[in-house]
Amino acid sequence: MNRFETPRRGGEAQIRYLDGDFQILANGSHVVCAVTGASIPLDELRYWNVDRQEPYVDAEASLRRHLQIFGRG
């Protein structure tokens, strides 16, 4: 962290996931992937589902969740 960055609490952030963006409701350093349970630093958060309000560690985790919900066919 450089001197111009605002320090974040080390815990899990509370996020509202929007189309193409997200809003931080409660400060934290990370969110937890809904599929794998992996910690995702906020500056690396790229994948989420707006309808389910879930974050994913990567595109594969997002696809796995989709297949869990909607099946394979």
Arithmetic mean of pLDDT, 16-29: 97
Strands (E), 1-73: 14-18, 21-26, 30-32, 39-41, 47-49, 54-56
Q: Where are the alpha helices (DSSP H) in the chain?
A: 59-70
Domain spans of the chain?
14-70
The predicted structure's pLDDT at residue 34:
98
Q: Who's near 44: CB < 8 A, 6+ residues apart?
A: none
pLDDT at 9: 66
pLDDT digits (tens, 9 = 90+) for 25-40: 999 999 999 999 999 9
Classify the C-alpha dihedral 42-47-53-55 as positive or negative.
Answer: negative
pTM above 0.95, yes or no: no
**pLDDT tier, 10 (very low <50, low <70, confident <90, very high otherwise):** confident
